[in-house]
Structure 1
Amino acid sequence: MWEAVYIIEGLPRNASDIQPETVHADTQGQSLPVFGLSDLLGFDLLPRIRNWHDLIFYRPGEQSRYQHIDALFGEEVVDWKLIETHWADLLRTAISIRENKLSLVTLLRRLGNHSRKNRLYRAFRELGRAIRTLTLLCYLSEPALREQITAVTNRTEAFHGFADWLMFGGKLIGHNDPDHHEKVVKFNELLANCVIYSNACDITDAANALAAEGHPVDPDDLATVSPYITHSIRRFGNWTLNLTPPEHAPATRLDLEPRVLFATGHG
């Protein structure tokens, strides 16, 4: 659950031009309250769920029956009355999180205490039951959505693997200091992003050089080239920080000539 919580909490603080509307996570990145919270905050939570067929599909009403997919559903029914009763509290909580007046992590920790007796927790969980059921139905009926979730989570895992490879001293952080932990994680991800950027520039230069020489460059082939390249990196070499701007801006645009982009084999 905490994986998606930290991702969702950071999204309202995002002040950049890119405003994502979808949150992807692994199996641990989903729970019923998080599904309810993400919907109120305006995000679609689309985690990769292991053993999704073991999850409960909640019926919208006791009399709800379906001709072709009824076997998917159990007998559990969404308690819409509970959601309606606490709707104002749910909205007030979501607004407080979006306006950074309340930490999502703090909220869920509070909700987790005596959760069976916590009415707000039960309301979030009930809303999450409805939202997750809809998400599971979309997951089953849309092959493109399943491919998207798998591709995004695989890409994320590849980044984490690349960052772990660059991590000096292994994954174990030797100090029991939260501030030190945060610095190590942030510096490691900063280093990983710098190396990925450098690799991407090298790939761009190589592709542009091939195109300039008249060699055909297939975009489909180029799309399979990953920037997570390790064989050219001296991980334990000399790392120097040079803040002097380069004389020439690095090439960040593919300049593939149309005549060689989709070569037909004609001379």
Structure 2
Amino acid sequence: MDTYVALFSRFIPCGVWEAVHLIEGLLANASDIQPSTVHADTQGQNFPVFALATLFGFGIDQLFGESGRNVIDWKLIDKHWIDLMQVSISISEGRLSSATLMRRLRSNSHKNRMYKAFREVGRSVRTVALLRYLADPALRARVTTATNKVESCNGFSKWLDFGEVLADNDPEEQEKLIKFNTLPANLVVFHNALDISDVVRQLVAEGWSITADQLSQIAPYLRAHISRFGAYATDELRHRPDPFDPLLKEVDFTEVVLAA
């Protein structure tokens, strides 16, 4: 999507594919920005993810072929279509987590009838997506641009999170660390965007011609002017602070209600 902020973030344990949480993040997005296209890395090429995304309307196309080897089993899809819709409704109603479903529908679940149904739908949707990718140079360029943008965002967030330490095994605390990193990253991106806008306006006022193509080459992940560790005036270290008064005589505590 054509935005530089993170709409959702999630702590993922080691060994879990990002595709597991892809749908859950989309469904949990309550912001005014609703993506029409979702870009994922190689892990996003997961058959159940393609199937579930299609059932939720994130993208759908038809693919028809002759019966035989290496084609979509449309009969299997037709047989279990009601089951697929029931699963989708359960997720949309909050009765089932999409992450839980994705973990159950891993590629080693070949004996699972629901996995087979999701796999066939996912094959059809992914085949269309790959054919479009091969046939459309503009789409390939867009995918490459989005991939570079995501990697730049990840690198920028990692740069701000200079500690890079998950010191707690509690999943809730780990989730907090991830979100506490995403928030300042988005704030700095917003700050950079405002600064870039001010500079562009100043250049235009001076008579410079700024085109949309030129602006598209600028990403708000600038970091040279950001001081991650703050600024400290060491020349004031020689000043002796006022002595601490433990009695605090100047404070009136008569009307302060102390908590039990």
Q: Distance in 2 between matches of 1:162 and 1:12?
A: 25
Match for residue 125 of structure 1? Answer: 119
The two structures, once aligned, show a CA RMSD in angstroms of 2.3
**Alpha carbons of structure 1 residues 215 and 180: separation in structure 2 relative to 1, 3 Å:** same
Q: Which residue of 2 aligns with 1:3?
A: 18
**Greater strand share, 1 or 2?**
1
Q: State the one-letter code of the partner of 2:147.
A: T
Tell me, yes or no, if structure 1 residue 197 matches structure 2 residue 190.
yes
Q: Does the 8 Å CA contact 2:20/2:98 hold for their aligned counterparts?
A: yes
1:126, CA displacement in angstroms? 1.2
Offset, 1:23: 1.6
Aligned length in residues = 215
Matches within 5 A, 1:5-24: 5-24=20-39
For 2:18 and 2:59, locate their aligned partners in 1 and report how far apart those are by CA, in whole Å. Answer: 15
Larger Rg over CA atoms: 2
Superimposed CA distance per residue, residues 58-93 of structure 1 (whole angstroms, 9 cap, x where no aligned partner): 982236xxxxxxxxxxx4122111111111000111
**In the alignment, which residue of structure 1 is the partner of 2:221?**
228
Residue 202 (structure 1) shift: 1.0
Q: Per-residue CA shift, 1:83-131, capped at 9, x if unaligned?
A: 1111100011112222222101111223349712110111101111111
CA 1:166–1:17: 2 relative to 1, 3 Å: closer
Matched, 1:184 2:184: no
**Structure 1 residues 216 and 130 mapped into 2: Cα distance closer, same or farther (>3 Å)?**
closer
Determine the C-alpha separation between the residues in 1 that align with 2:21 and 2:163.
26
Letter in 2 for 1:12: L
Deviation for aligned residue 1:149: 1.2
Report if aligned partners of 2:50, 2:125 keep a CA contact under 8 Å in 1: yes
Listed as ranges, the gaps of 5+ residues in structure 2 are 1-15, 233-260
After superposition, the Cα gap between the structure-2 partners of 1:112 and 1:10, relative to the gap in structure 1 and judged at 3 Å, is: same
Contact kept, 8 Å, 2:20 with 2:103, in 1: the verdict is no
Distance 1:199 1:173 in 2: 28
**How far apart, CA to CA, are the structure 2 residues paired with 1:129 and 1:113?**
13
Cα deviation, residue 10, structure 1: 2.1
Q: Is structure 2 residue 65 aligned with structure 1 residue 60? A: yes
Equivalent of residue 219 in structure 1, options 212, 220, 244: 212
Residue 174 of structure 1 is matched in structure 2 by 167
Query: TM-score, normalization: structure 2?
Result: 0.76
2:135 equivalent in structure 1? 141
Any conservation in 2 of the 1:4–1:23 contact (CA below 8 Å)?
no
Residues 49 and 122, structure 2, Cα contact 8 Å, conserved in 1: yes
Structure 2 counterpart of 1:89, which letter?
Answer: D
Q: Are 1:35 and 2:35 matched, yes or no?
A: no
Structure 1 unmatched ranges of 5 or more: 46-57, 64-74, 240-267
Amino acid at match of 1:131: V
CA distance in structure 2 between the aligned counterparts of 1:113 and 1:31, rounded to whole angstroms: 9
Q: Please give the residue correspondences for 1:66-81 in structure 2 after superposition, counting only pairs within 5 Å.
A: 75-81=69-75
Classify 1:77/1:196 alpha carbon distance in 2 versus 1 (closer, same or farther; 3 Å). Answer: same
2:257 alignment counterpart:
none
Distance in 1 of aligned mates of 2:219 and 2:104: 42
